[in-house]
Structure 1
């Protein structure tokens, strides 16, 4: 099978994932059931990819609630029983709960809206306690299986291939939005399902905006060009940033670029099982501070990714999470100056038993366009 046609349902043991969640310890004894409302968590636990669903997980398995638009899809994707409902799903779940003997029902406090919570609260029997849990599924998702790592690798390689093809069509004077559209087009052609986020193309002083949106401004010569892009493939995200210079790079740009690259490499060198996420962040921050750019580094060093572009853990100054083999994270230090521009270099890496592997194949050598 070609690399861009990996079966996204291959070798996924959804009942094992559901069992791991049902028996996991939150802030006390495991609940009798947990109601999953986040689409990414429902996909992780059941394989269902529809846009409207709830998943009720118990120690005996799971039940999917969705609407008639997804009846065929649910039967194809989800190994658990599906209830096809025509009205609001939270009300359907509530009706099912009224006859249950649940004593402890957990729900995703960081994912459920207030209206849905109120409906649920009114529906549960008086003997049932509602337990808010935070990131219960996300904690399981942090450690990727070998198959998940391979899907992310596919996405990363597609992302890099798209940048390489798009830059062959680059010319000075292109608009930021034009280059962003070319990147998205090449990404789709290379096998991506969709961008993982709105592609960032920012030139000149606008590159000092870490989350700049492409505009109709022209990419002129004698300016830096920052591109931050990602793709979803097989449902899994990739993320990469490269900063180039249009024309011959001046000394100031080269100095900044060298400092950011050294910071990124220092952080990558720190990644290994047993190290805290904060220590990885500190490794990058220490290099930039020693280079005189500490105050220009205004965000965290990275984040986890997988079924979502931003997942735990956050690679930041106060993040206590200990890195484990199987984590997939980004390493992306950057420095930004309002009247000049910004430089960020980002790779996706997977934590191994002894360190980490850089999945991103795109070169980090300074590029002059």
Structure 2
């Protein structure tokens, strides 16, 4: 199954790049608990991140080692490129255990088998699924080890995408286009918000005529009416009414790769203030995309946006984009480079970003976004969807 997603040689290249980083930082091993990093290195893909799991990479062991729940081992067999000895499963009595057992106890034994129990081991301290108890328990079981923060080691390796990764993101963009069109078409007075969400989800999963979609790392975000100044709300039983602004942010997903897309609609005729704000956002996005090319910094791209909107007396303090691609709930972002003042990350060919420079006022918000890849000649926007305010 993983060979259908990426050839084994691509996974092996990722592992070698990770091992090189371990040597640079004088680390003996890294324990990956971020599901996206586990997938990136080993190919593992399952909804099992609600229990503790990991992929371990050491400087000397030839393959990564998957560590997870016994009932998920068949999932590792189905989705990873790893050989059988490198899939290690703990028994179910480690899950919510009444016997003072914990998956980190088992992981500690695996690290001992890999001869790194007394080494410098990086753990993903800020990953969503690596808990405080995991850290303290693993440390207690490895008294001779030095546990250090992995500091987004693999996340930064993921920043530059291969051609196949970007192709999956292009496919995700086609799904995003279809889902956005379905959502916009479904909005009209008297229709409950959840009905629009249902239409969006239908397209996200059905995908295109050529391929299906996967569940996205973030659910469709759909604040409307008075709530469009708050970008991260979802949907409710509320019915759309004449005069409502509506924000839709969503993403298609293909082999866990995303291509987010956001647009704003207005139920009925939009007031001049909303129309004008949308025009400013579009002009700013155009300027920022035009600034993208290899060798330019993230902050320089943001500056093009900021200088454009400043002509109209508008300021925005938040970042306007971030590196993203492969992801699991709760996020499709990579937590690395951001398009913001002060971020001196230099753009390279193969990087991918979600640019989402919304303007949120007290009474309404306008949100448009594009996912783009950095190419040798500039920015390639992955979706082909009109960049404007929509009327419902």
TM > 0.5 fold call? yes
Could you tell which deviates more after superposition, 353-362 or 68-77? 68-77
Map 1:1-369 → 2, pairs under 5 A: 7-10=4-7, 13-24=10-21, 29-50=25-46, 51=48, 52-59=52-59, 60=61, 61-80=63-82, 81-86=86-91, 87=94, 88-98=102-112, 100=115, 102-111=118-127, 112-124=130-142, 126=144, 128-190=145-207, 191-294=212-315, 297-308=316-327, 309-311=332-334, 312-339=336-363, 341-369=364-392
Please state how far the C-alpha of 1:342 moved relative to its aligned partner: 0.7
Please state how far the C-alpha of 1:25 moved relative to its aligned partner: 5.5
Please state how far the C-alpha of 1:343 moved relative to its aligned partner: 0.4
- Say which SS state the counterpart of residue 201 (structure 1) adopts: coil
Please state how far the C-alpha of 1:178 moved relative to its aligned partner: 2.2
Contact 1:151 1:236 in 2 (8 A): yes
Contact 1:298 1:335 in 2 (8 A): no
- Say which SS state the counterpart of residue 222 (structure 2) adopts: strand
Could you tell which deviates more after superposition, 38-47 or 61-70? 61-70
Contact 2:22 2:29 in 1 (8 A): no
Residues 97 and 71 of structure 1: is their aligned pair in 2 closer, same or farther, counting only changes over 3 Å?
closer
- Say which SS state the counterpart of residue 223 (structure 2) adopts: strand
User: Distance in 1 between the 2:180 and 2:365 partners?
Assistant: 19
- Say which SS state the counterpart of residue 257 (structure 1) adopts: helix
Structure 1 residue ranges (4+ consecutive) displaced by more than 6 angstroms after TM superposition: none
Please state how far the C-alpha of 1:16 moved relative to its aligned partner: 1.8
Q: Structure 2 length as normaliser, TM-score?
A: 0.85
Q: Structure 1 length as normaliser, TM-score?
A: 0.90
Number of corresponding residues: 359
Equivalent residue, structure 1, for 2:97: none
User: Distance in 1 between the 2:271 and 2:9 partners?
Assistant: 51
Gaps of 5+ in 2: 95-101
User: Distance in 2 between the 1:132 and 1:335 partners?
Assistant: 35
Gaps of 5+ in 1: 1-5
Q: Once the two structures are superposed, what CA deviation does each residue of 1:77-134 show, in whole Å capped at 9, x if it has no partner? A: 22222112213432112123346255322222222322112222222253x4333221
User: Distance in 2 between the 1:18 and 1:161 partners?
Assistant: 35
- Say which SS state the counterpart of residue 168 (structure 1) adopts: helix
Over aligned residues, Cα RMSD in angstroms? 2.1
